[in-house]
Amino acid sequence: MASAGSGFSGRAALLLTLAAGLVATVAGCSSADEPEVRDIASSFASSGPQGRCDLLAPATLTSLVQGGESCPEAVQHLPVGSGEVVSVEVWGVDAQVHLTDDTLFLTRDDTGWRVSAAACAPAGKGSYLCQVEAS
Amino acid sequence: MTAVRSFLKGNGLSLGFGALFLATLVGQALAGVAEFNDQRVSEGLAGVSLARYVTSSSFAVDVMENWQSEYLQFFLYVYATVWLVQRGSPESKELHRVGTETDQEQRVHEHSGEDSPTWARTGGLRTAVFSRSLGLLMGGIFLLTWAGMSVAGWSAFNAEQLAGHEDPVSWLGYLAHPDFWSRTFQNWQSEMLAVGSMAIFAVYLRQRGSPESKPVGAAHADTGQTG
């Protein structure tokens, strides 16, 4: 502790550069994905049952057909929104999209962004109860 | 001895810890992505690649929360040891030297030698800044990395909020959230414990050849000796 090395300034500069890079990465990645998230959410909202099923995340799709119905049959009986996109929030590999008549949650996998939850109603204290989601 | 070997020997402490830092950072990334993906799979979400994980806020906040506390530790230690002493500890100066000491003891202004740094000789603002440069740098890096932790933590927290189907929060909202302070205090407490215990353990225990220890034969009451 008493013996900080003479090369400290160089190491400090390296650490600061790494720190700035990490923060810039955090800030940059979220905004870069926003157009794609908006497009997927908009397509989901304007599609028919089969089109919506094609945009669901695999785990959400699996959960939806557990009752024995096909995905399109299950989706058309649920209050999934079809309104315009109002706002988009992207944080890491997760996103939230407010439609005029629903709230969607999306997640990113190797194939791109997919809808992980829909037909979500506010349940107080900022949380949502979703009728379409992975179990 | 070749120039390379001479350089390696003369900078072994910096290079050794630099290599250990990189190796452990890689270890943290590999273990972190495995834990992160376990959590996501249990939530019915897809896992992420190592490349995406190391550029994620989850990795960034885990790195930043440790960096900020380390620099806080050094910043406090540099400043605290000006005024606080520990009888018998090699981490402390002698008890009668509490404070910033005289210009003669610190070899500044007219008491500087030919080998003294220029800013120690010139006086005025430059000497005043140079006299505090170590603490200022440590404190500055601490503030930057703590701010970095708050941004990365905010982003990671909001990602978790969305994965759990909850609204994201503002940066100020995150600063008031227990997650930010839990990450902060859990790191701070360990640094304070490490510094405090090192100061007192070094009174009674020795490590032969280490400048962090007193000479093996030094009395327990000897303060400020290293060997």
Residue B1 sits in the same domain as residue B48: yes
8 Å CB contact between B169 and B158? yes
Domain, as residue range, for A98: 34-133
Contact flag A29-B211 (C-beta cutoff 8 Å): no
A19 found inside a domain: no
Cβ density class B189-198: b for 16+ within 10 Å, e for less: eebeeebeeb
Average pLDDT, 10 consecutive residues per value, chain B (227 residues)? 90 96 97 94 86 93 96 94 93 92 93 93 93 96 97 95 96 97 97 94 94 92 81
**Does residue A3 belong to the interface with chain B, where contact is any CB pair within 8 Å?**
yes
Confidence (pLDDT) at A23: 56
Domain count across chain B: 2
**Site of tokens 């989850």:** B58
**Does residue A117 belong to the interface with chain B, where contact is any CB pair within 8 Å?**
yes
A115 found inside a domain: yes
Nearest CA among B120, B121, B139, B122 for reference residue B130: B120
A109 found inside a domain: yes
Concatenating the DSSP letter of every residue in A63-124 gives: HHTTTSS-HHHHHHTS----S-EEEEEEETTEEEEEESS-EEEEEEETTEEEEEEEEEEE-S
Confidence (pLDDT) at A5: 38
B105 found inside a domain: no
CATH at A41: 3.10.450
C-alpha A110/C-alpha B112 separation (Å) is: 64
**Does residue B202 belong to the interface with chain A, where contact is any CB pair within 8 Å?**
no
C-alpha A135/C-alpha A98 separation (Å) is: 22
Residue B1 sits in the same domain as residue B71: no
Domain, as residue range, for B11: 1-55
Q: Residue B209 has what DSSP assignment?
A: T
Residue B162 sits in the same domain as residue B174: yes
Contact flag A92-B67 (C-beta cutoff 8 Å): no
pLDDT tens, position by position, A46-69: 999 999 999 999 999 999 999 899
Measured between beta carbons, which residues in chain A are less than 8 angstroms from residue B43? 134
Residue B145 sits in the same domain as residue B171: yes
Residue B39 sits in the same domain as residue B71: no
Distances in whole angstroms, Cα of residue B196 to Cα of each of B70, B81, B189: 14, 11, 11
Residue of B165, B174, B195, B210 to mutate when probing chain A, most A C-beta within 10 A: B165
A11 found inside a domain: no
